[in-house]
Amino acid sequence: MIRLLAAIGGPVVAALASIGRLTRFAVTALLRVVQPPWYPAQVAQQMLTIGWLSLPVVGLTAVFTGSALAQQIFIGGSRFNAASTVPAVTVIGVVRELGPVLGGLMVAGRVASAMAAELGTMRVTEQIDALVTLRTDPYRWLVGPRILAAILVMPALVLVSNALGVMGGWLLATQRLGFNSAQYLATTARYLEVDDVVSSLVKAAVFGFFIALMGCYHGYHSGGGAAGVGKATTNAVVSSFILILLSNLIITVIVFGS
């Protein structure tokens, strides 16, 4: 019986300890974001890395997904004479779900891994210890700017992603499915609501927070040389994917569930 309890209790305690460590890390980092001194050059550099350099991959994902979505809605809708719903369903699907979620996942794959690898390398090469000995708080210099930049830049990135996703659907619908261009755009505009856009941007900011948090957390606590950095990178990507999908579900239920 004791063995059974130990077998169950050990992992539970370990999981609770991990949650506690992560929460403390997140709170410390967020406090550093709001308290001076700030490092605007670091934030700008991270905004460039996270936002501008992610644009090609996020944009391509949005265009291809928007096009594929329009094609599927057309095929499905044709079965019950509802092919005309393509513009409305595409814009709702892209803006509410696919734009932020796929954009978030693509950025997580690109950015969370890079952050974990960079901070992990800094940890194992003692650069983080060097920062501390130079009286610079690593949370303030490394973690805070990454989290702030991700929260600020992800909504802009998702806004572009949404526009490109809708454009992908429009391109396919007008070039391949025989839709009238002006009518398609007018229907799109009529069905797009402010709540859709706001929820999309809120999701993006939350995803940005989780992406940077996971990248920094796993990198910061990396150990064990190259293997440790590799493990931190994998953990950062997997955990940010899970948190993006979970938080997306929660936000969707809260905003649209009623």
Q: Which residues bind another protein (CB under 8 A)?
A: 121-122, 125-127, 129-136
Of 142 and 251, nearer to another protein (C-beta) is 142
The amino acid that residue 75 corresponds to is I
Of 34 and 134, nearer to another protein (C-beta) is 134
Provide, rounded to whole angstroms, the least separation between the CB of residue 137 and another protein.
9
CA distance 155 to 33: 18
Provide, rounded to whole angstroms, the least separation between the CB of residue 152 and another protein.
20
C-alpha 159 chain-centroid distance = 13
Provide, rounded to whole angstroms, the least separation between the CB of residue 86 and another protein.
47
Provide, rounded to whole angstroms, the least separation between the CB of residue 37 and another protein.
12
Of 122 and 172, nearer to another protein (C-beta) is 122
Provide, rounded to whole angstroms, the least separation between the CB of residue 49 and another protein.
11
CA distance 89 to 114: 35
Of 102 and 117, nearer to another protein (C-beta) is 117
- Cα atoms in the Cβ-side hemisphere of radius 13 Å centred on 158: 33
H or E element at residue 230: helix 225-256
CA distance 240 to 231: 14
Of 71 and 127, nearer to another protein (C-beta) is 127
Rama region for 126: left / alpha / beta (φ>0; ψ in -120 to 50; rest): left
Of 125 and 183, nearer to another protein (C-beta) is 125
Provide, rounded to whole angstroms, the least separation between the CB of residue 15 and another protein.
19
> Per-residue DSSP letters for 92-136?
HHIIIIIHHHHHHHHHIIIIIHHHHHHHHHHHHTTHHHHHHHTT-
Of 44 and 130, nearer to another protein (C-beta) is 130
Helix, strand, coil percentages, rounded to 5, for the chain: 90, 0, 10
Provide, rounded to whole angstroms, the least separation between the CB of residue 130 and another protein.
4
Of the candidates 50, 89, 39, the residue with the CA atom closest to the CA atom of residue 66: 89
